[in-house]
Every structure is written in C-alpha cells, then in structure tokens.
A and B are shown apart, each in its own frame.
Chain A
Amino acid sequence: MADDKSNAAEYWKANVRLIFGCIAAWAFVSYGCAILFRPLLAGIPVGGTDLGFWFAQQGSILTVIVLIFFYAWRMNALDKKYGLGE
C-alpha cells in the first residue's frame, strides 16, 4: 500500500511538471510572441506584416493544437509507466 501511494504521488508530480511545461510554452506564444513581445519581433517580416501578427492570428492556434496532442501522448505514456491507466 505504501508503495502504491508513493507511486501515485510520483505520477501526479510528473503530471504537474508536464502541465507546467505545456502551460509555459502556451503562455510564451499566446501572450509573449503574439502580444507583449510583438514590438521585438517587428523586424521579422511575414507576408506583408510581422511575425507577431502571424502568431496572434494563426501561430498561437497551431501551437495550442500541438501542445494538447503532445500532452495527451505524454500522459498516456505516464499512465502506462506508473500502471495507473484504465
């Protein structure tokens, strides 16, 4: 039982770490590249405007899709590794 408990606790820690990483990447793109750092990216031209504009209108959406699938894939692996899947 004690083993089960520490196993489960480790699984949860790994999950929280993974979430932190994904949320940080998400925030960096959606709030960073698309909004706050747009002036810094102004020098990089993309089809008649700048990279920040692209991130705001398309890049952030594409990033979010990749992140969710990445998270699902990693979590399913963790479920197996810790034997906590369905």
Chain B
Amino acid sequence: MSQFAINLLFVGASFALYIGIAIWARAGSTKDFYVAGGGVHPITNGMATAADWMSAASFISMAGLLASGGYANSTFLMGWTGGFVILAMLLAPYLRKFGKFTVPDFIGDRIYSKTARFVAILCLIIASVTYVIGQMTGAGVAFSRFLEVSSTAGIWLAALIVFLYAVFGGMKGITYTQVAQYIVLIVAYTIPAVFIAFQLTGNPVPMFGMFSTHTESGVPLLEKLDDVVSALGFQDYTADVDNKLNMVLFTLSLMVGTAGLPHVIIRFFTVPKVSDARWSAGWALVFIALLYLTAPAVGSMARLNLMTTVYPEMAGQTENYEEAAQNPILYEERPEWFRTWEETGLITYTDANDDGRIQFYNDATDYADRGWEGNELTVNNDILVLANPEIANLPGWVIGLIAAGGIAAALSTAAGLLLAISSAISHDLIKTMVNPKISEKGEMLAARISMAGAILLATYMGLNPPGFAAQTVALAFGIAGSSLFPVLMMGIFSKRMNSSGAVAGMLAGLICTLLYTFTFLGWFFIPGTNMLPNTPDNWFLGISPLSFGAVGAMINFAVAFAVSRVTAPPPQEIQDLVESVRYPKGAGGAISH
C-alpha cells in the first residue's frame, strides 16, 4: 500500500469516528449546546479539556520551539501547564458554582455593568478569532503535506468536519469528539517518540531517555547535544538565560493567558459538581502532561538526529568535533525524507561555497577558516514532529498516525474556540443584551447560526491569513491575561470589587497591553508602523512585548483596587452573589441535570 493510501486510511477512519459521534451526540436544548447538559464525568472532561487546550501549536510547533531554543524555550512548557494551577484554584470551581453558560455571563452579572459585559464579549471574540486562524492554517498544512490536496481544499475539508459535529452537537458533540481526538493525538505523538528514544538511548520512555546516555557515543544525551551544537557555533542547548526578568514575565503571561482563555474555562461548566471541577483540572493536566513531558525529549532528540544526519561523523565522536565538522554529507547523498520536505519548501538548501556538501551552522559565527561561506541549510521548526517518523525510519503506518494526530489537535481546539465565539454571540449578545425575550428554540437556532457563521469566518481567515497571524496568537494571550483573568479573579476573591473599579481595571490592563505591543510590533500589526524597533535595547526594563500580558494584568489589578476603594461598595445582592459562588453548597440547583 502506498504511503498516500495509508495516510488516507488513517485520516479517513478518524473522520468517520468524529462523524459517528456527531450523529450520536445531538444537542436537544441550549444547555446541551452550551455545556453538554452539565453531566460530563470529570475524567472525561479532563481528556476533552486536554484536547481543547492542546492545539496545532502544541502538537506540531512546540517540540520544534524546544529544539531550536533549548532551555530558553522551557517557558512554553511551564507557561502552558502552570496556568492550570490558577484555573484549578482561583477560577474553575467558583465559576462552575455560578452555574451559567459563558464567561461574559459571570462578568456581566458580577460587575453589574453593561460596559463590562460588552468589553468581555469583545475580548473573548478577538482572543478566540485570532487563535482559531492558527488552527485552520495548521490543519491546512497537515492536509496538504499528507493527503496531497491543496491547502485550500484541506481547510474547506476541516471546516466541513467541524461544521458537522459542532453545529448539530454543540458542546455535547464537541466534548465527545474531543475525547476521541485526544486519544488519536496522544497515540500519534507518543509512538514515534518511543521509537526514537529507544534508538538513541536504549530507554523507551522518552522523558527518561532524554536524561540518559546516548548509546552511540556513550556520553549523556544532553551533553552530547551541547557538544555538537557548540561545535557548529550555536548556543549550548542547556545554556542559561541572561534576561531572567523577561523569562519570568513571559512564563507568567502564558500562565495568566491560559487561565483567562474562555474556551478552556467553559469546559469546566460541563461537569456536575464543584468538586468535579477541581478534580477535572487535575485530570486535564495529567493528560496534557503526557504530551508535554514527551515534547522536550522529542525536541532534543530531533535536534540531535538532524545534526548527525548532516554531520554523520559527529554521532560516535566524543572529542574530535572540529574534524567531524569538516565532513558534512554530500547534497547528492541526502536522505529520502530530506527530499520530500524540500518539495514543501520547509527545508531549503543553497550551496554557498560550491563544494556539494551541506554546511549547516550558526551564521553569526565566522567559520571562514573552515572554508565555509555561509549557512547553507534552513529547516523550518514545524517539520520536526511531522518528519520525526521518517527521520527515524519508522514504518508507513506511523506517518499516517501523525497525519491524523496533527489534524485532530487542530480540529479539537478549533471546535472549542468556535463554541466560545458562538455562545458569546447567541447567548451574551443576542439573549442577554439585545433580545432577552427570545425563546429557547430561538436561542438554539441563533446558536447554530452563529456557530455556522463563526466557522465561515474562521475558514475565510484560514484561507487568507493576515500577514501578522503568528503574532496575533501572542495577542490572544495578552488580551485574555490582562483583561479577562484579573476581572474574573477579583470578582470571586474581592467582595469589595465594584463595577467602576473592575471596568477601569479591565480597560487599563487591556489598553496598556495593546499600546505596548503595538509600539514594537506596529499598529494593529501593520508592518512598518511600529514606533520603536523591536529589539531588547528598546524594551522597557528588557520586557519583550510578548511578555507584557503579565504586566498588563498587574496594572489591571492595581487600577481596579484603587478605583474600587474610592467609590461606593457593590450593592448587597452582588455581595450575596460573591458569597454564593464561594461555597459549593447548592451547585446542583444552578444547573439542573
């Protein structure tokens, strides 16, 4: 069977599974549509949350980020998992107790202000739409590479599948497809990693293999990797970072952003009890950790594999790296996977010194003495996970599995985001703000139409991605972290927080974060409109615009606190509302099931 047929079989089988679930899990009421009926088991919800949270970026890009950045990019690992501590302890159980359907529901009621509700809806939509663009393009890349269709056809196909289970099943359909998608993606991620760890270190568990001995050379794998990359002028893989303030703030920004992203928060509305919301956060993280503990191993091993593919003599070396560096492989003798990825343009080669060999090194280092006239190879970080099975010579079915896994990761996150967007429109905007008298049936129809509309918008944006798509994902975290997270937390933990304080805080946090980001990355990310060059010398205290979400959150807290102290306390019924979300007793009554 050809590789194409195998890929088609795996992807087709996974799609048949998702469609089967869509037919089985149809939403009968708005409660089914928004919160899957509110009766999802905490472990099931944990698995769905893991798939909801782990996007194309986690599945495809993260190992590549770790491979290229080494220790410095540990921020992504810590940030994207640490946020669940905040969720589990500061938000999820109380918002579950509140017992309504959406995030703006809580903000609007607790802050008793139309402005706050509207700002929350706006933040939610901007954060979710920017995020969903990346999922659609990610699915498009996976389709075009593995199914040999154009990226455009791939995106339409992805949209059609999501349409089938999200429009008819709502949160109910999404929950159970996410569980299936989690299983597909974790199996797909783990199998190649196990093979590679075993090949390189003899230890089949990737997270342990990473810290054990590299079989071929007899030195620890990470030490080996440090030696290899430094012989080629790259920074040591495990090298420490100088700008610790920025590293701390970037990690913190990812954490508060994670906690403030609505599509993750609403997953916790689907469990029956407050205590289930607490357990569920723990289970979600267990399922996420299965991938996140494997990713650093995949990153380091893929980097080493790539280096020793180009410089075969380096693999068994323990000291003569200089000599080994003189003998990279001939371009003519490059392996098969190298050729397939060259066709996609994600690997490129130019023979700068006309010797027919591949000199792959850090351009910033001058190696004229070695006869090198510039780095000759560029490898896109995103291909490492996708090319892993081919690099390790694994059988064709593993490649088919990776294709299905990458698409599952993109679709599961896209569906969660689309639900957050459509419920903000049908529930918060139409039902709560515009037409409170709308019937249950009418709201259901509105929810389905807004879901279809959101899918069309996401498809359009996926087909015509704005040039700044990559940067806007960071913006999604900045917005969620600096505006939504603080107001949610204060709404629960400060009884004294009133509407003037919360609104002032939200706007201050949001505006400061946007201004700081636009100053360096251009107004609305339009290239050339940035007021200062985006270099560390210009950054305030060395804080990168991507790390500013945490500062925005602090500004939000400070302003909200100050303003609320000098204005009147919230009315009694709001204080009673805060009391009621703090105690689990009576959560069953809020959502019947």
Contacts and interface: CB of A to CB of B under 8 A. Distances in A.
B41 interface: no
Contacts of B211: 46-49, 54
Give the interface residue-count category, chain A: 35 or more
Contact of B78 (A15, A23, A54, A56): A56
A75 B280 CA distance: 14
Contacts of A16: 493
A71 interface: yes
Given A26-B82, A84-B585, A65 B286 contact: yes
Interface string A41-57: 00000111110111011
Residue with the greatest number of chain B CB neighbours at <10 A, chosen from A46, A64, A67? A64
B543 to A, nearest CB: 15
Contacts of B585: 83-86
B383 interface: no
Given A36-B244, A48-B221, A85 B251 contact: no
Interface of A: 8, 11-12, 15-16, 19, 22-23, 26, 30-31, 34-36, 38-39, 46-50, 52-54, 56-58, 60-62, 64-65, 67-69, 71-72, 75-76, 79, 83-86
A86 B271 CA distance: 13
Given A36-B244, A58-B207, A48 B220 contact: yes
Given A47-B212, A61-B77, A12 B582 contact: yes
Nearest to B586: A86
B78 A61 contact: yes
Nearest to A53: B238
Interface stretch (B83-91, B336-344, B450-458, B551-559): B83-91
Contact of B240 (A12, A39, A64): A39
Contacts of B582: 8, 12, 15
B572 to A, nearest CB: 14
Interface of B: 66, 71, 74, 77-78, 81-82, 84-85, 88-90, 93, 207, 210-212, 219-224, 226, 238, 240-241, 244, 247-248, 251-252, 273-275, 278-279, 281-282, 285-286, 289, 292-293, 296, 493, 579, 582-588
B89 A57 contact: no
A12 to B, nearest CB: 6
A72 B279 contact: yes
B583 A71 contact: no
B278 A72 contact: yes
Residue with the greatest number of chain B CB neighbours at <10 A, chosen from A50, A68, A71? A68
Contacts of A35: 241, 244, 247-248, 251
A56 B240 contact: no
B220 A47 contact: yes
B89 A22 contact: yes
A31 B221 contact: no
B273 A34 contact: no
Contacts of B248: 31, 35-36
A9 to B, nearest CB: 10
Given A64-B82, A84-B585, A57 B285 contact: no
Given A35-B247, A64-B82, A11 B88 contact: no
A68 B77 contact: no
30 contacts: A12-B582, A22-B85, A23-B89, A26-B85, A35-B244, A39-B240, A48-B222, A49-B220, A49-B222, A49-B226, A53-B74, A53-B222, A54-B211, A57-B66, A60-B78, A60-B82, A61-B78, A61-B292, A64-B285, A65-B286, A68-B85, A68-B88, A69-B282, A71-B88, A79-B274, A79-B584, A85-B584, A85-B585, A86-B275, A86-B586
Contacts of A75: 93, 275, 278
Contact of B89 (A12, A34, A71): A71
A61 B289 CA distance: 7
Nearest to B236: A49
Contacts of A67: 85
Contacts of A76: 275, 278
Residue with the greatest number of chain B CB neighbours at <10 A, chosen from A23, A39, A71? A71
Nearest to A32: B248
B89 to A, nearest CB: 5
A15 B66 CA distance: 37
A26 B285 CA distance: 14
